[in-house]
Structure 1
Amino acid sequence: MQNLIKRGALGLGVIAGILIINPFATVPAGYRGVITTFGKPSETVYGEGLHFIWPVAQRMHKVQVAIQKGEGEGDAASRDLQTVHTRIAINYHIRPDAAVSVFRDLGNEPGERIIIPSVQEAVKAVTARFTAEELITHRAQVRNEIVEALRERMARHGLIVDEFSIVNFNFSKTFNEAIEAKTTADQLKMKAERDLQRIEVEAKQKVSRARAEAEALALQRQQVTPELLRLREVENQTRAIEKWDGRLPTTTGGAIPFLNVGNIRPDSAPSQR
């Protein structure tokens, strides 16, 4: 019985000793491990999971390789010497096989050591190639050139650019007012051009209508002959006779319609009694 108690106490002591000295280290998801032996990092990159280390002599350090986000802002000068305040956002990650160099060379702080100064340098270099107006109108090109500059600089340190966005460009108040005035002038110019085009179209339509009417009148004149005029005169007289009720007008001083006086012979006059 006493031997059993001694063995149990010994086992508990061993377990307690293991827990105290802790010869195991865990690397969580999204990280890589770097083991240092008395402060010197090994060249081996440890993956996610449980790993054995020598207590006291060794220590496991975690290097995040998952995608990280950074934001920043700063001032730069455009090619036409306008002050440009730029705000950017970047997503990046550490290349897993470069975890040891990031830990050793960058102190496991890539954001402070590389990301921020690299972004500032790239933004200033690219911004200086464009005028302030071009920074607005060629925003996609500006972004692409900044990304290319960043990738080249960061790749030397085992860092990968996943996404880069220009959140905003801000300029001086004077420049913003000048841009607004130019935009207003361009809009007024476009409106005037549209009005002029409309007026020209309407004028052409009027000319076309007038030409068509003139051609129609000319055609009608060509079709009017003396025979046609005589025919129209006879038709008008025929319609008038059809409407006449046979009574002569009672008023004098006017011509009697439809009576040809020259055709009345004296012998045909009525006899007087």
Structure 2
Amino acid sequence: MALNPFYSVSSGYIGVKTVFGAIQHEQLDPGLHFRTPFISSIHEISVQPNTSVTDETAATHDQQNVTTRTAVTWSIDPGFADIIYQNYRSLDALQSIILAPIVANDMKAVISKYDAQQLVTERAAVAEEIATIILRDFGRYHVLVSLGGVNITNLTFSQQYDQAIEAKQIAQQQALQAKYTLEQTQTSSQAQVVQAKAAADATVATAEGQAKATILQANADAQAYKAKQAALSPELLQLTAMQRWNGVLPTYMGGQAPLPFLSIQPHP
């Protein structure tokens, strides 16, 4: 193989040619290329997407520790494959020496600007800011980040913080429950007051109605009695007595006692 003057660059790779170990700044695309045995060599470097995962612990603005896991999908700029090979010789070296520290530093810088609660409520904005900074810093080393290539796959707070959040949530729930219970009690009390007032009003209305009915009945009875008294003339009284008389005269009458029912009017 060393004597073969031809070399085939694989698909998804760029060939970097060296002569006596010195980098030749030309790009060898996939396909067949010529080389001089023992003098020149061709080295392949991948331009395919790679995904690097970085775990990092950072402090928030309010001094809460948060552990993050960030996945970045990236690839080298094919036009700078020779420079990258010259500086790092491999993508693994590029990842460990340059890219991983960039992700860690950018993550810490962004997280330090936010309180722990904001990382939860504004997670999308935080992730976007981190992605923007990583894309910028990777670009300085001729590394491209694919669209949507930065993902924060994990965001974990300390156990103490989680316990504090849980306690706060429990307290909030208890406060809401107490407020609800108080409102229910107040509503029930108000309903009882309304019901009691309605019952009292009904009792008063009933009593007033009964009193008015009694007064009306008494007035009616009085009017009837008055009318009856007005109708009792002497003639009517005598006629009533005559209708009730059994025809028997008293056996003894005083000298001054009048004969019953005898009323003789002189003729003119």
* TM score, norm. by length of structure 2: 0.67
Aligned partners of 2:10, 2:174: CA distance in 1, in Å? 62
Q: Kindly state the Cα deviation for residue 190 of structure 1 after the two structures are TM-superposed.
A: 3.5
Aligned: 1:107 with 2:89:
yes
Which of 28, 33, 49 does residue 46 from structure 1 map onto? 28
Aligned partners of 1:101, 1:30: CA distance in 2, in Å? 18
Q: Kindly state the Cα deviation for residue 137 of structure 1 after the two structures are TM-superposed.
A: 2.3
Q: What corresponds to 1:61 in structure 2?
A: 43
Which of 187, 190, 198 does residue 176 from structure 2 map onto? 190
For residues 208-245 of structure 1, give each alpha carbon's deviation from its aligned partner in whole angstroms, at most 9, with x where no partner exists. Answer: 88999999999999x99x89x98xxxxxxxxxxxxxxx
Aligned partners of 1:68, 1:58: CA distance in 2, in Å? 29
Which stretch shows the higher mean deviation, 207-216 or 182-191?
Answer: 207-216
Aligned: 1:125 with 2:109:
yes
Q: What corresponds to 2:137 in structure 1?
A: 153
Q: Kindly state the Cα deviation for residue 129 of structure 1 after the two structures are TM-superposed.
A: 0.8
Secondary structure, aligned partner of 1:111: helix
Secondary structure, aligned partner of 2:16: strand
Pair 165,20 (structure 1): closer, same or farther in 2 beyond 3 Å: closer
- Which residues of structure 1 form unaligned runs of 5+? 1-18, 231-261
Aligned partners of 2:241, 2:30: CA distance in 1, in Å? 143
Q: Is the 8 A contact 2:2 2:38 kept in 1?
A: no
* Structure 1 letter corresponding to 2:57: D
* Structure 1 letter corresponding to 2:163: E
Pair 202,113 (structure 1): closer, same or farther in 2 beyond 3 Å: same
* C-alpha RMSD over aligned residues: 4.0
For residues 137-179 of structure 1, give each alpha carbon's deviation from its aligned partner in whole angstroms, at most 9, with x where no partner exists. Answer: 2222221121111111110111122211222223332222111
Q: Kindly state the Cα deviation for residue 107 of structure 1 after the two structures are TM-superposed.
A: 2.5
Matched residues, number: 224
Which of 56, 65, 69 does residue 83 from structure 1 map onto? 65
Q: What corresponds to 2:17 in structure 1?
A: 35
Pair 20,96 (structure 1): closer, same or farther in 2 beyond 3 Å: closer
Aligned: 1:165 with 2:151:
yes
Q: Kindly state the Cα deviation for residue 199 of structure 1 after the two structures are TM-superposed.
A: 5.9
Q: Percent identity?
A: 29
Aligned partners of 2:16, 2:128: CA distance in 1, in Å? 34
Pair 55,183 (structure 1): closer, same or farther in 2 beyond 3 Å: same
Aligned: 1:179 with 2:161:
no
Alignment of 1:226-241 (within 5 A): none
Alignment of 1:212-223 (within 5 A): none
Secondary structure, aligned partner of 1:81: coil
The higher radius of gyration belongs to 2
